Chain A
Amino acid sequence: TAGITQAPTSQILAAGRSMTLRCTQDMRHNAMYWYRQDLGLGLRLIHYSNTAGTTGKGEVPDGYSVSRANTDDFPLTLASAVPSQTSVYFCASSDSRGGGVVKEAFFGQGTRLTVV
């Protein structure tokens, strides 16, 4: 089924360890996003990529890095995890180029990360 896939679904990580959250889409969307969602705060943008080879910082980028080597993949890396990075992480993609057609964002199923 076409869509966007995240891995892993959940993870418990020791503080100080590194981890990469994987995200793959097969819709050929130009734009991809990483959000974290915490209770009462809604979706907060961590990093984004408008096209392969480019990335940008969102609202809460500190402690995270991303890469966009190709259109389909957009991994998120935590270099040295801290407990405040405990959250649910959502990857999303959309066709964000100009035009009047509705172009909604599609979300992966989420990764529930606990840093202890």
Chain B
Amino acid sequence: GQNIDQPTEMTATEGAIVQINCTYQTSGFNGLFWYQQHAGEAPTFLSYNVLDGLEEKGRFSSFLSRSKGYSYLLLKELQMKDSASYLCAVRDWKDSNYQLIWGAGTKLIIKP
């Protein structure tokens, strides 16, 4: 079946580094997305991985291991505005098209 797991909530300190993990099981994997969602707002795209390895984009990096069904989002130099939920989503091939399978999200709380 299809399943995506990520921690429900994490807490970190301003200026520090935090790693949010995501594990998945899908049948037709074709890429993994990370989205950020502030409370009361829509999800916004952060990163995409389709090959193994690390993708860096400023303070945010995302890693993928397809053999392990595992990804993480690394946030450096944390700022208060990074307090949000982070959603992991896998693109799966279904019904002759790609569809996104979503994790429940990780709520990240940043403390001063």
Q: Taking beta carbons and an 8 Å cutoff, which residues of A are in contact with B?
A: 31, 33, 35, 40-45, 48, 50, 56, 90, 94, 96-98, 100, 102-110
Partner among A96, A98, A107 whose Cβ is within 8 Å of the Cβ of B99:
A96
Tell me, rounded to whole Å, the shortest Cβ–Cβ distance linking A21 to chain B.
14
Report yes or no: B33 in contact with A109, Cβ–Cβ below 8 A.
no
Report, nearest first, the 8 A-B pairs whose CB atoms are least far apart: A42-B104, A107-B42, A104-B45, A43-B102, A96-B98, A102-B48, A50-B97, A96-B97
Which residues of B in the span 57-112 have a Cβ within 8 Å of any Cβ on A?
Answer: 87, 95-100, 102-105
Chain A residues with CB below 8 A from B50, complex form: 100
Report yes or no: B100 in contact with A41, Cβ–Cβ below 8 A.
no
| Cα(A90)–Cα(B87), bound, Å | 14
Partner among B42, B48, B99 whose Cβ is within 8 Å of the Cβ of A108:
B42
Q: Taking beta carbons and an 8 Å cutoff, which residues of B are in contact with A?
A: 8, 31, 33, 41-45, 48, 50, 87, 95-100, 102-105
CB-nearest residue of chain B to A41:
B104
Q: A40-B8, A90-B42, A104-B45 are in contact. Are A45 and B87 (CB under 8 A)?
A: no
Partner among B8, B42, B97, B103 whose Cβ is within 8 Å of the Cβ of A31:
B97
Tell me, rounded to whole Å, the shortest Cβ–Cβ distance linking B93 to chain A.
9
Report yes or no: B87 in contact with A42, Cβ–Cβ below 8 A.
yes
| Cα(A105)–Cα(B34), bound, Å | 11
Tell me, rounded to whole Å, the shortest Cβ–Cβ distance linking A51 to chain B.
9
Some 11 contacts from A to B, beta carbons below 8 A apart, are: A42-B87, A42-B104, A44-B102, A50-B95, A56-B95, A96-B97, A102-B31, A105-B100, A107-B42, A107-B43, A108-B42
